């Protein structure tokens, strides 16, 4: 196997490892002010509730894993949504627009930093 064919495998392994890491936040209810701080996050909440909450209710574990404790960078969130991973299906741009995906990732990043 040459180096160029190992690159996608290493990326997948790194993403898998990063999604398995988390904080103690998992399963803890969100307390305090839960109002989105800006329009991007507010739109992200609406888009998340439209596309994601069935499997990740409120960012918690459901059919899918909890998202409120995943330290993934925005690019990894978008990659996973677009390409899927494990049981998660891929969501192409015709299903979740680029703008909605930008807002969903802004919401998820805000969600994991909410006290």
User: What sign results for the dihedral spanned by CA atoms 32, 54, 71, 19?
Assistant: positive
Counted domains in the chain? 1
- Phi, psi of 23, deg, nearest 5: -110, 180
| Predicted pLDDT at 93 | 96
- Phi, psi of 109, deg, nearest 5: -65, -40
- Phi, psi of 85, deg, nearest 5: -165, 130
Measure the CA–CA gap between 90 and 25, rounded to whole angstroms: 26
Which CATH number is 82's domain given?
A: 1.10.760.10
pLDDT in tens, 35-85: 788 899 999 999 999 999 999 998 888 888 888 887 889 999 999 999 998
Mean pLDDT, residues 16-22:
51
Contact (CB, 8 A) for 90 and 24: no
* Nearest of 111, 55, 45, 43 to residue 80 by alpha carbon: 55
Residue range of the domain that includes 28: 3-113
pTM of the prediction? 0.69
| Predicted pLDDT at 36 | 80
Residue whose pair of structure tokens reads 């899927």 in the numeric block: 84
């Amino acid at each position: 196997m040459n180096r160029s064919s190992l690159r996608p495998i290493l990326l997948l392994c790194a993403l898998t490892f990063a999604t398995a890491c988390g904080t103690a936040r998992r399963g803890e209810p969100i307390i305090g002010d839960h109002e989105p701080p800006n329009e991007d996050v507010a739109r992200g909440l609406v888009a998340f509730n439209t596309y994601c909450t069935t499997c990740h209710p409120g960012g918690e574990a459901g059919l899918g894993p909890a998202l409120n404790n995943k330290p993934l960078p925005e690019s990894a969130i978008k990659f996973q949504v677009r390409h899927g991973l494990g049981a998660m299906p891929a969501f192409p741009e015709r299903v979740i627009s680029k703008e909605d995906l930008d807002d969903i990732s802004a919401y998820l990043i805000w969600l994991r930093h909410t006290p």
